[in-house]
Chain A
């Protein structure tokens, strides 16, 4: 059970407080309801580039990191296709420093040319490091384009192409900020060795006078149902053939999401999972294989990918995966196997909750998608899943017409 208190400031900023007196630390988590899905298709990668600019100084504070480090604190941030999150950890005595810094950059940024210029380069190097200069680094870029015709999940968080980042202007930066980075579109979570009354006082003091801004209404083009299988073949300078398959699944808040999540564990959650056991250990067709999804808020993708053992034919490898899919569609899983993946979820949630930062982050996440209380009831959603649900969802998700496949061949 994670305990928390909540209140809302008059400008619409939602505040949650999670008291934990066992730690000398405090954390502050600010989540903004904006991600790569909210970008203009001709200016992709912007939400993430913008996250970098949030460290380039704010209207009254020229340097963000220095005062925080002076207060013994550390911070970081991440952007996904769905949201952007900033977090700080520091000794609880110095909590007010976090309020001062986070509120000033919600008030307004410094909007410096130099910062934009440098961060464009930094993000370009990040793009190269993770997606260009790595074998198979381009595959998710291509898979998203193959699977999505309409929804902005068509591009990756880092952006569709380097030029979009290189062309970002300070005007874009300003309008993005005042559109998305407003109190009404944000959730503030404070946790650790703090008292709710003190947090309320500090929140009023530092965030209370920030203009509320307009509530951002998301109106994204939704992906139509896919009606035929998509296949892409790539030849590239990689050492091994690889196979990637992706199927459309459900939005995060759809009740069927939980069965889908458990299916990915049945397929590849650990050494006893089906794909690993049958395809790596018994048939020796793949040197590694995984099944996973991204927990996307809108309808996301369920993926299976693996590298083929040298000499194995692509068609044989693909047929073997489909055989495993068919087993799951035709036969109900045993109760014990379903229990196993539920136990895995229970344990994962418990280990996740050990970290104060994770707890603060999760409270913000569940509040963003509906209600922080869901954090305490989430496991029940998994417990409700039956062997019938698994079978039915396996039939729906792993429908041939819903499939997107990439045959990634090694040149020569």
Chain B
């Protein structure tokens, strides 16, 4: 008979040698860098173009995200329908996204179709039209979506907590409004596009099963001239204007059966030496299923379906945010328990077995995250766009493997003080 009460021997994940597979770098004729990670196991390819086109760079609210969205809705002589038809006929996806910092266009396709898709993608990037009609439809539909979202306590809470942390005039704290949608003009989008989406601000990331002629192909479509001209983008730090009042309660829906709880404080950005250490402390506190917050507030008390804390990876400055949706009658108790857990980490050192578990969990999770070329390029992209290299990655691994319980306690004493946190419940 086997002894089922005894766990099988494990290899501690901290003993694993985590390796970030290197990328290859090419430079197109006009200077655009191309970072690539190849793997031939599947027949799929991912091609991503990144520009400094996030909300950071806009002077009017929503211009960055609207520009990014509408580029695909008409380019050259082609309508939105033509473009979608071209992409979708080959079973491919051309997706766009914009964040605070960057804006991207990403093509996912079977490798065998990539050559047929590049002309359409190039037209979208190089020659978008921004028609009045497309903008009008976009405004109307986005306003409809906003009006539905504003009924959701979690959506409303996310808007307010960012406003408290950064101020409503900072790109990190600015939110979408009906007025901002109404104010959008095609010429503003066109001007933003012309300034941000230029050849000298473009970076290309490519991964998967790459055809042998991929670099000549990219040169043909994106590398042959100085499209949109050279534009120098400046990035000054912008003033942060946090709220003075820290404690907020908002009633959004009188019949709400749950409240959205947000508790957050500002935190230095990723370049600060405490950042990688806080990634470990945050995991212990609220960053994984077995975290202190989950164990207490979900698994012991059943106040919520889930509670998490996370570090934002914004460029200028970051924030540590705890978030959950809890039963209406237990929201205040949930807030209380969050502070209790913060205080415990200040008063008592994390036990060695729990720390070991979190080290193993984090390393195992990174190992899993690096599985496959698409995941590897994603890591590299985050490093490169933040002007970091692999030493940053390996330093983080080293911190996970070696940070002590005493160091974590010092960190908690520095950053887990109740009076530094903004606190919000939206019902």
The answer, among A66, A91, A240, A344, for a CB contact under 8 Å with B364, is: A91
Q: Per-position contact with A for B61-103: 1 when CB-CB < 8 Å, else 0? A: 0000000000000000000110111011111110000000000
A295 CB–B CB distance under 8 Å: no
B304 touches A125 (CB 8 A): yes
B371 touches A23 (CB 8 A): yes
Contact segment of A126-134, A324-332, A387-395? A126-134
B235 CB–A CB distance under 8 Å: no
Which residues between 1 and 23 of chain B lie within 8 Å of chain A, taking CB atoms?
Answer: 1-2, 4-5, 7-13, 16
> Could you tell me the distance in whole angstroms from the C-beta of A357 to the nearest C-beta in chain B?
9
B363 CB–A CB distance under 8 Å: yes
B148 touches A239 (CB 8 A): yes
> Could you tell me the distance in whole angstroms from the C-beta of B146 to the nearest C-beta in chain A?
9
Contacts known (A67-B7, A270-B84, A356-B371); A343 close to B90, Cβ less than 8 A: yes
Contacts of A60 in B (CB 8 A): 4-5
Contacts of A346 in B (CB 8 A): 91, 110
A72 touches B151 (CB 8 A): no
- Of chain B, the residue at the smallest CB distance from A353 is B42
A128 touches B327 (CB 8 A): yes
* Bound: A91/B301 CA distance, A: 32
The answer, among B1, B9, B91, B303, for a CB contact under 8 Å with A125, is: B303
| Of B91, B141, B298, most A-chain CB atoms within 10 Å | B91
Contacts known (A67-B7, A239-B148, A340-B89); A121 close to B364, Cβ less than 8 A: no
A97 CB–B CB distance under 8 Å: yes
B273 CB–A CB distance under 8 Å: no
Contact segment of A227-235, A279-287, A314-322? A279-287
B141 touches A287 (CB 8 A): yes
Contacts known (A25-B367, A239-B151, A288-B141); A120 close to B289, Cβ less than 8 A: no
Q: Per-position contact with B for A12-37: 1 when CB-CB < 8 Å, else 0? A: 00000000001111000000000000
- Of chain B, the residue at the smallest CB distance from A125 is B305
* Bound: A271/B138 CA distance, A: 13
* Bound: A100/B290 CA distance, A: 19
The answer, among A22, A91, A129, A132, for a CB contact under 8 Å with B16, is: A91
Contacts of A9 in B (CB 8 A): none
B368 touches A133 (CB 8 A): no
B89 touches A65 (CB 8 A): no
Contacts of B298 in A (CB 8 A): 118, 122
> Could you tell me the distance in whole angstroms from the C-beta of B390 to the nearest C-beta in chain A?
18
Q: Per-position contact with A for B102-132: 1 when CB-CB < 8 Å, else 0? A: 0000001110000000000000000000000
A100-B7, A239-B148 known; 8 other A-B pairs, CB under 8 Å? A23-B371, A24-B367, A70-B10, A125-B302, A237-B255, A273-B88, A288-B141, A356-B371
Interchain Cβ contacts under 8 Å between A and B, 5 examples: A73-B364, A209-B1, A240-B144, A281-B81, A355-B372
Q: B residues bordering A, Cβ < 8 Å?
A: 1-2, 4-5, 7-13, 16, 39, 41-44, 80-81, 83-85, 87-93, 108-110, 137, 140-141, 144-145, 147-148, 150-153, 253, 255-258, 288-290, 298-305, 325-327, 356-358, 360-361, 363-365, 367-368, 371-372, 374
Q: A residues bordering B, Cβ < 8 Å?
A: 22-25, 59-61, 65-67, 69-74, 89-91, 93-94, 96-97, 99-100, 103-104, 107, 117-126, 128-129, 132-136, 205-206, 209, 237-240, 269-273, 277, 280-281, 284, 287-288, 307, 309-310, 336, 339-340, 343-348, 350-351, 353-356
Q: Lowest 3 CB-CB distances: which A-B pairs, in order?
A: A72-B364, A121-B302, A347-B91
